[in-house]
């Protein structure tokens, strides 16, 4: 029987708040692999215990997958308690074997990386599905395999499509900022990959303003957790950003965005005051209309 830690949903507009009960142990989340990004090579000779051999999905499972897809397609920036409960209920019906868990994770992840604005809501849904399990296979492990695959292909993703690259980067950041281990800690194996994604952006002299804007948005969301887990890398990053502002050939728009990142860092990643936020918004508007 499939099991998952089913938490309270968030109503519309609640995604900007702290997750209720954050940091508490999550049901079914105590396995040793929780902090490891699994490597899936798809080897044909990989031994699979007989009880885990994928079985053909039943008609009811297929119907539930279709219903989940329909719900996901109609979600925008937030999710109601009703929709979340329905997704959790349908996910229990879907989880029949390894393959069904994999298909569910691919469906949810695909929605998340197709729309950058949906990343925060998507990570919240993934957190609620994290401990969904059948025969030892968890949704969380399948999800992290997908994250790892995009991380390994980040350079190719960026060369093919800046939008796809930024979508994957945003989703990884939101998973890092939202999901927690059974002990209430961030997934530490994601710290290095998140910084590497960031450095791809910062180290490219041809980086565009859209990438800086997404970088700014994500760092304001997860900067504190990143710094707590690797202060040295954060200091190196901020130094690079300062040099880019001073010596680089970036546009005024890019420099304005990067300066906001530095200011957030100096304030300990606390939310900027209304006056400061207004200053950056007004300045950016002036730059864009010049």
Most confident of 88-97, 170-179, 180-189: 170-179
Q: How high is the pLDDT of residue 2?
A: 54
What whole-number distance in Å separates Cα of residue 23 and Cα of residue 182?
8
What whole-number distance in Å separates Cα of residue 73 and Cα of residue 75?
6
Question: For helices 209-229 and 231-247, what crossing angle results, to 10°?
Answer: 150
- Cβ-contact 118, 109 below 8 angstroms: no
User: Who has greater pLDDT, 288 or 154?
Assistant: 154
Mean pLDDT score, 194-206 = 94
The length of the chain is 290
Number of C-beta neighbours around residue 149 at 10 A: 14
Q: Which long-range contacts (CB under 8 A, 24 or more apart) does 228-235 make?
A: 229/186, 229/188, 229/191, 230/191, 230/192, 230/195, 233/191, 233/195, 234/265
Q: What angle do CA 161, 158, 181 make, to 5 degrees?
A: 110
Q: How high is the pLDDT of residue 235?
A: 97
Q: Residue 58: pLDDT band by 50, 70, 90 thresholds?
A: low
Task: Report residue 268 as tokens.
Answer: 């300990």
Residue 37 has pLDDT above 90, yes or no: no
Nearest CA among 87, 94, 88 for reference residue 61: 94
What whole-number distance in Å separates Cα of residue 284 and Cα of residue 290?
10
Range in 29-33, 85-89, 225-229, 238-242 the model is least confident about: 29-33
Residue 48 has pLDDT above 50, yes or no: no
- Alpha carbon distances (Å) from 15 to 6, 85, 129, 131, 203: 17, 16, 16, 21, 32
Q: How high is the pLDDT of residue 71?
A: 92
Mean pLDDT score, 136-164 = 94
Q: What is the mean pLDDT of the chain?
A: 82
Token pair 């450095």 is found at 199
Mean pLDDT score, 65-72 = 92
Residue 151 has pLDDT above 80, yes or no: yes
Digit-coded pLDDT (tens) for 259-283 = 999 999 999 999 888 888 889 888 9
Maximal C-alpha separation, the chain: 67
Digit-coded pLDDT (tens) for 201-236 = 999 988 888 999 999 999 999 999 999 999 999 999
Mean pLDDT score, 12-37 = 38
Q: Residue 137 has what DSSP assignment?
A: E
Q: Residue 290: pLDDT band by 50, 70, 90 thresholds?
A: confident
Mean pLDDT score, 183-202 = 94
Q: Which domains does the chain have, with CATH numbers?
A: 61-179 (1.25.40.180), 192-290 (1.25.40.180)
């Amino acid at each position: 029987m499939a099991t998952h830690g089913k938490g309270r949903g968030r109503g519309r507009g609640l995604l900007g708040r702290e997750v209720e009960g954050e940091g508490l142990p999550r049901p079914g989340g105590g396995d040793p692999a929780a902090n490891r990004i699994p490597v899936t090579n798809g080897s044909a000779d990989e031994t699979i215990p007989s009880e885990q051999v994928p079985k053909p999905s039943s008609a009811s499972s297929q119907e539930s997958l279709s219903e989940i897809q329909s719900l996901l397609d109609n979600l925008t920036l937030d999710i109601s308690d009703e929709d979340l409960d329905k997704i959790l209920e349908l996910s229990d019906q879907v989880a029949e074997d390894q393959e069904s868990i994999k298909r569910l994770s691919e469906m949810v992840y695909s929605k998340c990386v197709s729309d950058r604005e949906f990343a925060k809501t998507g990570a919240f849904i993934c957190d609620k599905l994290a401990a969904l399990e059948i025969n030892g296979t968890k949704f969380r492990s399948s999800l992290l395999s997908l994250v790892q695959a995009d991380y390994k292909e980040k350079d190719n993703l960026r060369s093919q499509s800046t939008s796809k690259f930024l979508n994957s980067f945003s989703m990884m950041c939101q998973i890092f900022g939202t999901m927690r281990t059974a002990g209430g800690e961030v997934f530490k194996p994601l710290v290095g990959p998140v910084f590497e994604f960031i450095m791809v952006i910062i180290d490219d002299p041809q980086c565009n303003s859209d990438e800086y804007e997404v970088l700014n948005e994500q760092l304001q969301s997860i900067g504190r957790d990143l710094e707590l887990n690797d202060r040295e890398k954060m200091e190196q990053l901020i130094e690079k950003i300062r040099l880019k502002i001073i010596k680089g050939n970036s546009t005024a728009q890019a420099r304005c965005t990067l300066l906001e990142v530095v200011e957030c860092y100096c304030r300990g990643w606390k939310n900027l005051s209304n006056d400061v936020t207004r200053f950056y918004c007004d300045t950016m508007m002036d730059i864009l209309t010049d």
